[in-house]
Structure formats: C-alpha cells, structure tokens
Amino acid sequence: DTFDTKTLLQDLGLNEVNKGTWTGVEYIDIKGEWLSSHSPVDGKEIGKIQMTTRESYEKVLEQAEKAFKVWRNVPAPQRGEVVRQIGVELRNKKDLLGKIVSYEMGKSYQEGLGEVQEMIDICDFAVGLSRQLYGLTMHSERPGHRMYEQWHPLGVVGVISAFNFPVAVWSWNTMIAWVCGDVCVWKPSEKTPLTSLACQVLASEVFKQNGFPEGVSSLLTGGASVGAFLTQDPRVALISATGSTDMGKAVGETVGGRLGKVLLELGGNNAIIITENADLDIAIRGALFGAVGTAGQRCTSTRRLIIQESVFDEVKERLVSAYGKLTIGNPLDENNHIGPLIDEQAVQNYLTAIERVKAEGGSELVAGGLLEGEDYSSRCYVKPSVFEAENHFQIVQKETFGPILYLIKYQKFEEAIAMQNNVPQGLSSAIMTTNMREAERYLSSEGSDCGISNVNIGTSGAEIGGAFGGEKETGGGRESGSDAWKAYMRRQTNTINYTTELPLAQGIKFDI
C-alpha cells in the first residue's frame, strides 16, 4: 500500500463518512441508500456515504435559501475574504487532497496536485474579483437622469460536476459564485463522492469559523436522480453542469422547461493540426500529454491529430516511439505516466471504440487493450492506442472518454481547418506551426470554431484565468476566469431622475 486510506480520510476530516448524509456543516439525519466508493487504482472500497433522499434535499434547499438571505448582504470583498481563507486551507491540505483525487479518480498524483492547484488559483482569482464586479454607467438621453447597471447575486446555484475533474470544476463554479453572493448546492459525480466530501468539509468549516450559517455550501450525494432534484427545482436559479453531451441535453431541457438559467460544459472532440511548419519536438510532446494525460479522460483531451502529409510519417514514427516509453500503473507511484480509467464501464466503452474504428477501416498503429495481472487487479487499466483514421468515421465523430488517438492526413491548410471543425463538438483546439500566417488564420473568424484555440501548446491544461467552455454540442457555457462571473449574477439596469420634470424616453409626449 502506498498510503493508509483510513488515515488519509481522517486527515481530510472524513472520520464520520459512514454516519449519514452530509449537507452542510452538520449531517442531516435522514437515511438514504448507501453509496460506496471504490478506487479504480486497486479496486478496494474506500468508504461509504449515504445518498441524499428527497426529504433531506428539501432540508438542504430550505437551509440554502435561508443562508442566501444572509450571504447576499455581505459586502462582496468580505465574501472574498472567506474565499481567501478557503484558499489557505486548500494550500495546507494540497498533498492530502491531491492524494484522494488520485486514489478515488485514478489520475496521476502530479495531476491530482495540479487539480488542487487549480482550486487554489481560482480562489486567488475570485478574491481579486470580489472588488471588481463592475457594471457600466451609461449616458441617459434625458436631462437630469443618470443610468447605470449593477450586478446582483442570483440566489441558489446548483453545480453538477463530473468524475474526471472532481474538485477543480466545482471550485471554478463555487468560488466565483460565492464572491458573487450566491449560495451553492453541489451534486458531484457519484463516482467520486469522498473527494467531494473532503472539499465540502473544508469549505463549510471555513464558513462556520467566520460565523456564517450553514447552507452557503451544501453537498448532495447520489446519481442522476439526485441531480434531477436540482434541475427540476424552480428555487434553483442557475444550474451549471459539466459532463457528457447526453447529460447536458437532458439538463438543458429540464431547466429550459422552467426557464431557469443553465451553464453547460459538455463533451469535446479536440484536434491538434500539425502543419509542415510545426516544431515537431513541441508537437509530439503536446499531442502525447493531450492524448494520454488523465488516461484521455479530460473534456479537453486530444482526440484527433490532423497532420500535413509531408510530415505525417515522421509524426507517426515519433509518436509510436513515444507511446512505447509510457508507463501505466498505480497513479500514486510517480514513475507511472498513466493510471486507470474510472471504472469497468469506461474500459468497455474504450474497447468498443477500438472495435468500431477497426470495423470502419482504421489502421492500428499502437495497440490498445485491457491490462491484466496483479498490478492491474481493478481491471480498469488499459493500454493507450493510436489509429490512422478518417475524420468522417462515425467513431471519430464521437467523444470516447479514454486514451484513443486518431491520426488524420491532410494536404491543404483549408482542408485541415474544415476537418477540425467538422465534428459536433467545439471545446478545445490547437495548431502546431511556426508560420505566423497559418497561426493567425487559424485564430481568425474563418479558423477554429472552438471555445479554446491554442498555438504551439496542446488542447488540454487550460489556465483558470481564461473563460473555459465551448460551442456547438459542448453547450456554449463559459466558466472560470475572464468575465465568466456574469453568468452567476443578475444584471439590473437603473435609471434615476434627479429633476422635477418627467421627460419620457424617445421624446414621447403624454401631457394631461
């Protein structure tokens, strides 16, 4: 054993894991069904938690609405101060949190730490933002009138997050929502309940120490049916959901049906274009991390390489050789590059994708498959694979959440951009080129149609300072940095008359 699970849970404040449904600082004592969390690293049960029932959900919402009445009146910079303290706690617990992320989700410890770092970074960002929730002032067309806009909190924000970034995506949403004056109810993936609970414990302790009521931060545990409590509930002003396109469509329909607000961050089918002017050292490294990092389970993972034919063979050979050097195994062992997939269903999806690409005529360059043996007893470890394929293949058009990479050949630059854009998803994209004209055309309005578009770096590993999200079936939402905070607030336009006259806008006369 690389570490003692019990001690880890205790150090994270989870010594009461088995006692009930956690919603805020206190447990709400309504007994739901048990949800047990198994590590994909070694297949062992890490712990158990009770799922949120309908009755306990009602209590959570009541508590959240009450807390909102307090929290919305706290000056934004003071809300920022609480988030600053959460950032300090995250720094103190960085190693422990990195470990639980790695052990419960299966990404490498380095990437687990990276995820905690994203949380720390967004805290810092949110603290600064808490003094910068700016509205505009406008010039009124009427004499003696002033016009401006201001941003108010929305209310209860529901955050639905996925297993693959069990903590970072939560923090992008909640840290921003909190400084905006919202209260958050979090429904994390049922595949990573303990990691989520660790964050909930950490944040709610800080709220408690600062004398704020329970309910600024709440956690729901369970699957889609628990998520549906949130999406159907008109008291929840905004649903921010991260996950598959199918999930997003269901959430979008339900929330749209009640005209609630949604922020969707769904699947990607991210490509890197490698032109004949690329620095191939960088291109290979960027493609490799993009394709196999997090075992291909990022929404920003590189799924397609669109390669100019004159460099195709060289890229292919260098990539195949690089894949040969990858080490797969326990992600807590820092000698390994790649850990397991999240569960056996994910393995099945991966193996099916391999069958499909073969059936459609793809040729196998690096063979995938399930790894067997003592080190892989959880049956979640797979070999990453590479195929030469065509963009129009049905399987290439789909997002497979695993380490499968498609190499596609192109001749003309226009053709490469068209292929890149010719998929239903529009999250992340990149070009590898040292040619300024190619790079600029790629970033122009006739270039990449994605929400994220990079030059000479890969498709994954975005920084928190930018707005994160994408177009088309990716859902259109933007989270994290830039002005993404506006999605968590309501805009109010104010016109104030400081005269004794009452002129109407547009010069309309209405005298009696």
Beta bridge partners of 21: 28
Tokens of 476: 């259109």
Query: 310: burial class by Cβ within 10 Å (0-12, 13-18, 19+)?
Result: exposed
In whole angstroms, how close is the CB of 206 to ligand UN1 at the nearest point?
Answer: 24
Residue 299 or 430: the one with the smaller Cβ distance to ligand UN1 is: 299
Least CB distance to ligand UN1 at residue 116 (A): 12
Q: Are 64 and 218 in contact (CB under 8 A)?
A: yes
Q: Report d(CA 212, CA 205) in Å as an integer.
A: 10
Q: 108 vs 460, which CB is nearer to ligand UN1?
A: 460
Residues in binding contact with ligand UN1, number by CB under 6 A: 12
The C-alpha atoms of residue 69 and residue 28 are separated, in whole angstroms, by 21
93, 99, 107, 298: which one binds ligand UN1 (CB under 6 A): 298
Cβ-based nearer residue to ligand UN1, 118 or 190: 118
Min dist. Cβ of residue 316 to ligand UN1 (A): 25
Pick from 458, 467, 470, 497: nearest CA to 485: 467
Out of 461, 469, 476, 477, which residue is the one contacting ligand UN1 (CB under 6 A)?
461
Q: What is the DSSP letter of 421?
A: H
Active site residue 317: no
Bridge partners of 425?
Answer: 472
Q: Which is nearer to ligand UN1, 56 or 300 (CB)?
A: 300
What is the number of H-type helices and E-type strands within the chain?
A: 14, 25
Cβ 252 to ligand UN1, closest distance in Å? Answer: 17
Distance of CA 410 to the CA centre of its chain: 31
Residue 300 is a binding residue for ligand UN1 (CB under 6 A):
yes
- Residue 168-207 contact track with ligand UN1, rule CB under 6 A, x = bound: xx--------------------------------------
Q: Minimum CB separation from ligand UN1 for residue 460, in Å?
A: 4
Asked if residue 315 binds ligand UN1 (CB under 6 A), the reply is no
Q: Nearer Cβ to ligand UN1, position 362 or 458? A: 458
Backbone φ and ψ for 78, nearest 5 degrees, come out as: -75, -35
Distance CA 411, CA 399 (A): 25
Note whether 112 binds ligand UN1 by CB under 6 A: no
Of the residues 46, 263, 462, 487, which one makes contact with ligand UN1 according to CB under 6 A: 462
Pair of tokens at residue 180:
């905006």
At 3, the amino acid letter reads F
φ, ψ of residue 419 to 5 degrees: the values are: -65, -45
Is residue 299 part of the contact set for ligand UN1 (CB under 6 A)? yes
CB 427 within 8 A of CB 473: no
Is residue 460 within the footprint of ligand UN1 (CB under 6 A)?
A: yes
Sign of the CA dihedral with 219 first, then 222, 226, and 231 last: positive
Which of residues 169 and 203 has its CB atom nearest to ligand UN1 in the complex?
A: 169
Site for ligand UN1 in 216-255 (CB under 6 A): 242
Instruction: Please give the C-alpha separations between residue 18 and each of 14, 27, 135, 194, 200, in angstroms, as whole numbers.
Output: 9, 11, 46, 11, 16
Give the nearest distance from C-beta 290 to ligand UN1 in angstroms: 9
Told to check if 263 binds ligand UN1 by CB under 6 A, we report no
Q: Does 41 help bind ligand UN1 (rule: CB under 6 A)?
A: no
Near ligand UN1 by CB under 6 A, which window of 55-63, 144-152, 460-468, 486-494?
A: 460-468
In angstroms and rounded to an integer, the radius of gyration of the C-alpha atoms of the chain is 24
Cβ 417 to ligand UN1 shortest distance, Å = 22
Catalytic residue among 190, 265, 438, 479: 265
139: helix, strand or coil: coil
Per-residue x/- mask for ligand UN1, residues 438 to 457, rule CB under 6 A?
--------------------
Query: Least distance (Å) from ligand UN1 to the CB of residue 450?
Result: 12
What's the token pair of residue 399?
A: 């997002």
**Which of 163/178 has CB closer to ligand UN1?**
163
Beta strands in 344-488 (DSSP E): 363-366, 369-370, 382-383, 385-388, 404-410, 425-426, 428-432, 452-455, 467-468, 471-472, 479-480
**Could you give the CA distance from residue 304 to residue 473 in angstroms, rounded to a whole number?**
17
Q: Which of residues 115-174 bind ligand UN1 (CB under 6 A)?
A: 118, 164-165, 168-169
Q: Which residue is nearest to ligand UN1 (CB)?
A: 462
CB nearer to ligand UN1: pick between 240 and 460: 460
Q: Which residues are catalytic?
A: 265
Which residues here bind ligand UN1, judged by CB under 6 A? 118, 164-165, 168-169, 242, 298-300, 460-462
